């Protein structure tokens, strides 16, 4: 739950799986789901889906135009993310797209299919590393065949270096793609205190520097205002030039300037059709930030953005989440455009109006509670366009901004993305995972009755309140937990959501139909954390991704600390492993106790405790259980990962004036990727 993504901004929280039962249909669902194909492509471990824009025709022309302009800004930064993920990615992308567009040989054989699968995986992951495991993947076609593709495409379209022969280029690009020793891991993770996380990571936030040099560089900067610290390093690359460590900022005239200029071009158009003065003001501040790279302006923008609670259309755009940085400081570029789902927002409105009650009744220590919860603005949205680190894999919930001082003084915006969650549910309806993994008919019935509603409510609580709850002790730096920051923050927000979804207050507020409906959420969460999510990890690997780690931590910790009372039980039946929850009330007590400790870790910046917690419960996998899960899932033919294509906006004009904007839904993933590269290829 995209502060699901990094410690501060909204995290990109992807559901590890969606209940197989159908969600109730509403009047908002304008596309007949029986006749709409949500899944349009399947390759490797990935499923490509479509989401629908409910109630699009009810928007005003001004709102549609604003969404269109913001959507173009959301696409202009896509090359930035590719380059941030690895310094070789733009070169590899150029090669892939050239071959896909200009190779005219046989396209029916196994080798060609292997190359196309590699191209799709590369686009999906925004680079040459798996989007979740962070490990480099290699094409299934041979190196000889790859060279053949190079030789039979438009040679002049390849990105040769100055003075480089084609033969030398072919050798260089083949080595980059096929040599497992070249950039093997996008984000290096290790429990060793001596391992250099910067040197061993392929991410392109650093060049020619060590972890120690980076940490010393930022330690020397200090903070001019301890109460309102700037997010140093958020929008820059650190390099060593003539033995001097320095930053290269992302801005006009700096790194990524050509792409940023295009983002600004569309944002300036958006200013002209802003819904109100408040919205106009924060878009103008975002433009100023992109021009200057000034982090003080970034904070000013976030303050104005979070104060704007009346706009129907909204967006995120910028260098936001720090999940990809092994040091948890540097942000990847992302964008998301949306409009409010008025009907479903009634639920989040109830939650936000009671934010102080939740804070006051949290089980955490009094010194870690906020005396006054400010500005918790929660709503359900329809996502209209995805870009950067939100595309093609997107969060299902968002809570921003990330800066703790802004959240404390001005509040935050929290959203649940209804149309994306609905699309996931429709795509997974017939997967059969429940029959295979759930222990009993009783557990399946729980999901059929309460699965969709509790999943939505968990996201609401995680984003609307969880990330905004609690406070840091004075003097504790945001980066105190270093590489464990994101996983601890996600663990904390999930624990908050799990604790309160079981509170009688949910029934009192009309958010759940009865006091046992939360059983569905608890069973699904524990089963996922202990078993189901293992299907997304290559056999023999450890858990690496922050959200997967946080789910494993919660499930495994509760299992261990509940053993004496047999709260969670693991059984074998017909050589298959099943999970049983014997005492839901006691499990809630455990979750409350764990939330108390995790909040203490964050509020005090206890790095040693954070490290011990993550390494003990969130990394290692039992190899036999891992193999069993993957074997059982293989029989279901369910893709572990999912992502989306964007809808297309058809702009209708009379002369130079826009008279309407229609929506159509694409059916070809490859076509969208190639079209985006033709139109939005601004970095070389």
Give the residue extent of every domain in the chain.
Answer: 33-79+255-643, 206-249
Q: Which pLDDT does position 411 carry in this prediction?
A: 87
What pLDDT was estimated at residue 375?
64
- Work out the pLDDT band at 428, boundaries 50, 70, 90: low
The three state secondary structure string of 574-637 is CCEEEEEECCHHHHHHHHHHHHHHHHHHHHHCCHHHHHHHHHHHCCCCCHHHHHHHHHHHHCCC
For residue 463, is pLDDT > 70? yes
In whole angstroms, give the CA distance from residue 569 to residue 472.
Answer: 36
- Considering only 30-34, 203-207, 462-466, which range has the smallest mean pLDDT? 30-34
Region 242-265: what's the mean pLDDT? 97
Distance CA 525, CA 451 (A): 11
Higher pLDDT, 479 or 358: 358
User: Predicted confidence band at 319 (pLDDT cuts at 50, 70, 90)?
Assistant: very high
pLDDT above 60: residue 1: no
Give me 607's structure tokens: 């790095």
pLDDT at residue number 618: 96
More confident residue, 18 or 583: 583
- Rounded to the nearest integer, the mean pLDDT of the chain is 91
Confidence check: pLDDT of 33 > 90: no
- Residue 444: the pLDDT is 93
The angle at the Cα of 278, spanning 274 to 284, to the nearest 5 degrees, equals: 65
pLDDT tier at 139, thresholds 50, 70, 90: very high
| Cα–Cα distance measured from residue 180 to residue 178, given in angstroms and rounded to the nearest whole number | 6
Predicted local distance difference test score (pLDDT) of residue 636:
86
Q: Is the pLDDT of residue 11 over 80?
A: no
Residues 6+ apart with CB under 8 A from 502: 518, 522, 584, 588, 591
Instruction: List pLDDT tens digits, range 549-590.
Output: 999 999 999 999 999 999 999 999 999 999 999 999 999 999
For residue range 643-658, what is the model confidence (pLDDT) as tens digits?
Answer: 999 999 999 999 999 9
Could you read off the pLDDT of 356-383 as tens digits, one per residue? 999 999 999 999 999 888 767 788 999 9
- Name the more confident of 97 and 189: 97
pLDDT tier at 184, thresholds 50, 70, 90: very high
> Computed over its alpha carbons, how large is the radius of gyration of the chain?
24
| Topology, domain 33-79+255-643 | Fructose-1,6-Bisphosphatase; Chain A, domain 1 (3.30.540)
Residues contacting residue 558 through CB under 8 Å, at least 6 positions apart: 526, 567, 568, 587, 590, 591, 594
pLDDT for 29: 43
**Averaged pLDDT for residues 351-357:** 92
Q: Which residue has the tokens 């309460």?
A: 450
In tens, the pLDDT along 518-559 reads 999 999 999 999 999 999 888 989 998 889 999 999 999 999
Split at pLDDT 50, 70, 90, the class of 459 is confident
């Amino acid at each position: 739950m995209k502060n699901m993504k990094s410690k501060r901004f909204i995290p990109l929280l992807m559901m590890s799986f969606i209940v197989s039962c159908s969600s109730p249909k509403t009047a908002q669902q304008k596309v007949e789901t029986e006749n709409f194909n949500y899944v349009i492509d399947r390759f490797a471990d990935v499923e490509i889906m479509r989401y629908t824009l409910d109630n699009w025709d009810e928007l005003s022309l001004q709102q549609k135009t604003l969404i269109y302009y913001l959507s173009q800004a959301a696409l202009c930064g896509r090359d930035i993310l590719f380059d941030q993920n690895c310094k070789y990615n733009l070169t590899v992308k150029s090669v892939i797209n050239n071959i896909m567009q200009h190779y005219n040989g046989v396209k029916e054989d196994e080798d060609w299919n292997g190359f196309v699968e590699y191209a799709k995986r590369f686009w999906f992951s925004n680079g040459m590393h798996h989007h979740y495991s962070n490990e480099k993947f290699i094409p299934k076609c041979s190196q000889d065949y790859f060279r053949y593709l190079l030789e039979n495409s438009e040679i002049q379209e390849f990105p040769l270096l100055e003075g480089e022969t084609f033969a030398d280029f072919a050798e260089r690009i083949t080595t980059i793609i096929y040599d497992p020793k070249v950039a093997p891991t996008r984000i290096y993770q290790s429990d060793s205190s001596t391992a250099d996380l910067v040197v061993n990571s392929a991410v392109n936030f650093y060049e020619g520097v060590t972890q120690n040099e980076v940490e010393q560089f930022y330690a020397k900067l200090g903070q001019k205002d301890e109460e309102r610290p700037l997010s140093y390093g958020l929008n820059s690359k650190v390099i060593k030039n003539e033995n001097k460590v320095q930053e290269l900022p992302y801005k006009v005239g700096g790194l990524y300037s050509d792409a940023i200029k295009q983002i600004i071009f569309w944002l300036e158009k958006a200013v002209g059709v802003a819904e109100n003065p408040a919205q106009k003001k924060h878009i103008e501040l975002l433009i100023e930030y992109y021009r200057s790279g000034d982090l003080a302006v970034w904070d000013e923008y976030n303050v104005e953005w979070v104060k704007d609670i009346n706009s129907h259309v909204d967006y995120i755009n910028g260098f936001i989440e720090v999940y990809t940085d092994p040091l948890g400081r540097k942000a990847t570029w992302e964008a998301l455009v949306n409009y409010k789902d008025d009907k479903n927002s009634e639920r989040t409105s109830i939650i936000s109006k009671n934010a102080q009650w939740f804070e006051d009744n949290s089980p955490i220590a009094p010194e870690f509670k906020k005396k006054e919860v400010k500005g918790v603005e929660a709503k359900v949205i329809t996502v209209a366009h995805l870009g950067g680190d939100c595309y093609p894999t997107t969060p299902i919930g968002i809570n921003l901004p990330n800066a703790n001082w802004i959240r404390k003084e001005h509040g935050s915006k929290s959203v649940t993305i209804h149309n994306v969650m609905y699309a996931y549910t429709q795509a997974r309806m017939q997967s059969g995972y429940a029959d295979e993994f759930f222990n009993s008919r009783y557990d399946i019935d729980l999901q059929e009755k309460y699965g969709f509603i509790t999943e939505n409510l968990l996201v609401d609580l995680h984003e609307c309140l969880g990330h905004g709850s609690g406070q840091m002790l004075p003097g504790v730096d945001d980066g105190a937990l270093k590489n464990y920051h994101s996983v601890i923050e996600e663990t904390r927000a999930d624990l908050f959501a799990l604790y309160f979804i079981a509170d009688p207050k949910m029934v009192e507020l009309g958010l759940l139909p009865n006091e046992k409906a939360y059983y569905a959420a608890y069973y699904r969460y524990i089963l996922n954390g202990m078993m189901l999510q293992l299907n997304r990890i290559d056999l023999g690997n450890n858990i690496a991704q922050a959200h997967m780690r946080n789910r494993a931590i919660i499930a495994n910790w509760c299992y261990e600390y509940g053993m004496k009372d047999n709260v969670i039980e693991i059984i074998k039946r017909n050589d298959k492993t099943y999970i049983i929850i014997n005492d839901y009330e006691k499990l809630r007590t455990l979750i409350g106790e764990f939330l108390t400790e995790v909040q203490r870790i964050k509020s005090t910046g206890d790095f040693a405790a954070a490290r011990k917690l993550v390494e003990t419960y969130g990394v290692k996998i039992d190899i036999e259980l891992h193999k069993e899960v993957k074997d059982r899932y293989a029989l279901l033919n369910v893709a572990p990962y999912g992502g989306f294509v964007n809808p297309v906006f058809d702009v209708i004009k009379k002369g130079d004036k826009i008279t309407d904007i229609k929506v159509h839904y694409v059916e070809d993933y490859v076509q969208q990727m190639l079209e985006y590269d033709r139109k939005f290829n601004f970095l070389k």
